[in-house]
A and B are shown apart, each in its own frame.
Chain A
């Protein structure tokens, strides 16, 4: 990496790089963030790992305990959603414009949803985060340094859960739910005419990309092949521990 940011180099215990709640790279100059009370909890993982189910359950649980919750999700920005849908359906995207549209969507949500929520002390539950973009970029051979610099304006989440499944389970779950589509099958990569083979090769490389990021970004890895309740229980246990620790540090703890 060529970017070194002395201003945000406070080390997280057990990890390296910038501190949770601060920018990964150079800050957005006009948006300084200074120890905002909110927290970002990101759930990452491929299709079919049950991210949205888990987020739904977490939200209920957190709100019952009195935490304000804001949800944010990949490509869900008001600004970009129609464009991304249109671009995907018209098939004129290439790997760069694909990545730049994602980044624009993320920037919009970061400025309009995530940062205001952090400032106001909400828990932000993020359905996918920048690692989804990085995994997809990695599979498509986008320059690693470029994509990491691009997302230098992202804020380091307080917790990143990676819901992991194996290739076989992943394929079955996707086929069972909504089937393969052009992009999720990596057909743009032209790995072959056989959509199933392409899908398999694509998902396999995606899993590899996620695995390669686990250390770099301090993923907490959960086995997502287990029952929904079991996974939820583990998420709650880890989140409780984290929130208790950070509430203990603030005078407003109840």
Chain B
């Protein structure tokens, strides 16, 4: 049995992952981290959940027609993930670069299970994934995330709000219900996969400080301005 997700990888690069529900601020935090790492001279590659060209057409068709079931939703995301893993994640890791992933397999574990997919099945599905050097979970209460999204006038999307589950015809209410279940699943994952938890209700700067401290434990350099390679 493959169990790469629970076995440390031996590639020279580093893989750092951020997780959290929509409105947790993880994307902001990851962007700030990337700035810091680049400024310190690291080669950084970013990869985003559900962004491969391969499944874009199917996801789009499926979403437009609201034709995705929890299973096909899960499998399409796994296909996207496999494609990015093999083209965008593993090669930079082999090249000794730092890969920053905005969401990872844990997103599937949390969301797909909240949608009613079998918990064990989805874990086995992603057993080909590379274990991150660190996965940081930005934990935020549902009220805070909803408030943030609504304040930014983000239009809550059909699937992100779990509207496909038919729990509520009110999109905000549906979002709360669905993301509440996603949060419960994330809480399980913290122990199961050893996610590092950051309190995402604090200020952006404060969170970033904590985040950088966590990441620097996994890097050779502790100082912002130290370079590892000679220019010779």
**Complex contact B83–A146 (CB within 8 A):** no
**Complex contact B2–A26 (CB within 8 A):** no
**Complex contact A94–B86 (CB within 8 A):** yes
**Residue B224 CB within 8 A of the other chain:** no
Residues of A within 8 A of B (CB-CB), count = 36
Q: What is the CB-to-nearest-CB distance from B161 to chain A, in angstroms, rounded to a whole number?
A: 18
- Determine the residue in chain A with the shortest Cβ distance to B87: A92
Q: Tally of A-B residue pairs with Cβ under 8 A? A: 89
The proximity string for A residues 25-36 relative to B, scoring 1 for CB distances below 8 Å and 0 otherwise, is 111111000000
**Residue B62 CB within 8 A of the other chain:** yes
**Residue A184 CB within 8 A of the other chain:** no
**Residue B216 CB within 8 A of the other chain:** no
**Complex contact A79–B120 (CB within 8 A):** no
Residues of B53-110 contacting chain A, CB below 8 A: 54-55, 57-58, 61-62, 67-72, 75-76, 78-79, 82-83, 86-87
- Which of B8-16, B25-33, B122-130, B190-198 contacts the other chain? B122-130
Q: What is the CB-to-nearest-CB distance from B66 to chain A, in angstroms, rounded to a whole number?
A: 12
A228 neighbours in B (Cβ, 8 Å): none
Give CA–CA (A101, B78) in the complex, Å: 9
Residues of A89-127 contacting chain B, CB below 8 A: 92-94, 96-97, 100-101, 103-104, 107-108, 110-112
B76 neighbours in A (Cβ, 8 Å): 104
Give CA–CA (A78, B67) in the complex, Å: 10
Contacts A101-B79, A143-B2 known; A107 to B121 CB distance under 8 Å?
no
B124 neighbours in A (Cβ, 8 Å): 3, 146, 149-150
Residues of A14-32 contacting chain B, CB below 8 A: 25-30
**Residue B232 CB within 8 A of the other chain:** no
**Complex contact A146–B1 (CB within 8 A):** yes
A3 neighbours in B (Cβ, 8 Å): 120, 124
User: CB within 8 A of A107: which of B57, B61, B72, B120?
Assistant: B72
- Determine the residue in chain B with the shortest Cβ distance to A27: B118
Tell me if B's interface is mostly helix, strand, loop or mixed.
helix
**Residue A83 CB within 8 A of the other chain:** yes
Give CA–CA (A52, B65) in the complex, Å: 30
B1 neighbours in A (Cβ, 8 Å): 2, 143, 145-146
**Residue B117 CB within 8 A of the other chain:** yes
**Complex contact B69–A149 (CB within 8 A):** no
**Residue A189 CB within 8 A of the other chain:** no
Tell me if A's interface is mostly helix, strand, loop or mixed.
helix
Q: What is the CB-to-nearest-CB distance from A106 to chain B, in angstroms, rounded to a whole number?
A: 9
User: CB within 8 A of A26: which of B54, B57, B86, B120?
Assistant: B120
- Determine the residue in chain A with the shortest Cβ distance to B62: A79
**Residue B202 CB within 8 A of the other chain:** no
**Complex contact B71–A146 (CB within 8 A):** no
- Determine the residue in chain B with the shortest Cβ distance to A109: B72
User: CB within 8 A of B69: which of A2, A111, A152?
Assistant: A111
B55 neighbours in A (Cβ, 8 Å): 83, 101
**Complex contact B82–A107 (CB within 8 A):** no
A104 neighbours in B (Cβ, 8 Å): 58, 72, 75-76, 79
Give CA–CA (A79, B58) in the complex, Å: 6
Q: Which residues of A line the B interface, CB within 8 A?
A: 2-3, 25-30, 78-80, 82-83, 86-87, 92-94, 96-97, 100-101, 103-104, 107-108, 110-112, 143, 145-146, 149-150, 152-153
List the 8 closest pairs (A to B, CB-CB), nearest first.
Answer: A100-B79, A30-B116, A104-B75, A83-B58, A149-B124, A96-B82, A107-B71, A26-B118
Given contact pairs A96-B86, A152-B121, enumerate 14 new A-B contacts (beta carbons under 8 Å).
A2-B1, A28-B71, A79-B67, A93-B54, A94-B82, A96-B82, A107-B71, A108-B69, A111-B69, A112-B69, A143-B1, A145-B1, A145-B2, A146-B127
Q: Which residues of B line the A interface, CB within 8 A?
A: 1-2, 54-55, 57-58, 61-62, 67-72, 75-76, 78-79, 82-83, 86-87, 116-118, 120-121, 124-125, 127-128
